[in-house]
Amino acid sequence: MPTPTGIMDPMPEGDTVWQTAQRLHQALAGAPLTRSDLRVPRLATADLTGRQVLEVVPRGKHLLTRVEGGLTLHSHLRMDGSWQVYGPDERWRGGPHHQIRAILATAAHTAVGYRLPVLELLRTGDEDRIVGHLGPDLLGPDWDPDEALRRLLADPARPLGEALLDQRNLAGIGNVYKSELCFVLRVSPWLPIGEVPSPERLVAHAKKLLEANRNRRARVTTAEPRRDRRLWVYGRPGRPCLRCGTPVRAADQGRAGQERSTFWCPSCQAGPQGPGPGPS
């Protein structure tokens, strides 16, 4: 979860996962694996050594490492998982040794998966079992804005923030983009999705923001280079809104047990102001 002074969400979002897939693909694809060490009980006997990595592709927040022989290693980073890539003589710096869940190495590179909460090996033909429920991927070849909009509006009473986080609607949006998109559209995250003016703009802006950030090291939604001004509202509770100066508010949003922190400006964003019905 975010801290009052933080500006980045610890949970990777679609752009971060896309970057991770690119790094893994560049490091592993096209060469046989010289080491395969999968450190989860159900994969303890699995050995991919000698097989060639065909490609590493992102699907929303999921990573699919496809290996010859019709196998896919599926991983998900959730809150604090990560894949790090190292050279042959480089020191591993991703965390303590006991946090390593996977090691995949070629002659040139070693990819190390730290704190991976999801790691499973399946047949490539069965990938739909784990990602088939996802909506159109904002950074994927299957992107379909009309289908994403249809899914978002299927439940018009649902609060906008919750609808955006639901990966079954469109895949790749996390807590940062949820808050930032609502600000850019000047609507409250608690506004029912069916009441959002020109909802097609929502889908277009989501695509634009993730595309703009997929090659950046630091996520930016304001076009400001300064670290404390890169995001409009996310991670800025109590600080002045960068547009109007009103203190930014924060509250948990979501169903019980699934709450996520949400940030918004009560002056710039029209609609219900946090939990409860109050209008802006």
Half-sphere exposure of 150 (CA within 13 A, CB side): 6
User: Packing angle between helix 145-152 and helix 199-213, nearest 10 degrees?
Assistant: 120
Percent above pLDDT 90 for the chain: 81
Lowest mean pLDDT among 24-33, 123-132, 216-225, 241-250: 216-225
Q: What b/e readout covers 178-213, taking b as 16+ CB neighbours within 10 angstroms?
A: bbbbbbbbebbbbbbbeebeebeebbebbbebbeeb
Which CATH number among 3.40.640.10, 1.10.10.10, 3.20.190.10, 2.60.120.20 corresponds to the domain 14-132? 3.20.190.10
Tell me if domain 14-132 and domain 145-264 are identical in fold. no
Mean pLDDT for the stretch of residues 29-44: 95
Asked if residue 118 has pLDDT above 90, the reply is yes
Has domain 145-264 been given CATH number 1.10.8.50?
yes
Q: Is 12 a catalytic residue?
A: yes
Half-sphere exposure of 236 (CA within 13 A, CB side): 23
The one catalytic residue in 61, 101, 207, 236 is 61
Structure tokens that stand for 90 in this block:
């480089």
The per-residue pLDDT for 11 is 66
pLDDT band at 212 (very low <50, low <70, confident <90, very high): very high
Q: Strand 82-86 relative to strand 110-114: parallel, antiparallel, unpaired? A: antiparallel
> Closest Cα to residue 46, out of 69, 64, 28, 62?
69
The one catalytic residue in 13, 159, 178, 272 is 13
Structure tokens that stand for 91 in this block:
């020191």
pTM here is: 0.87
Q: Is 127 a catalytic residue?
A: no
The per-residue pLDDT for 261 is 87
The one catalytic residue in 101, 230, 260, 266 is 260
pLDDT band at 277 (very low <50, low <70, confident <90, very high): very low
Asked if residue 159 has pLDDT above 50, the reply is yes
The one catalytic residue in 12, 58, 189, 272 is 12
- For the chain, give every domain's residue range: 14-132, 145-264
Mean pLDDT for the stretch of residues 36-64: 95
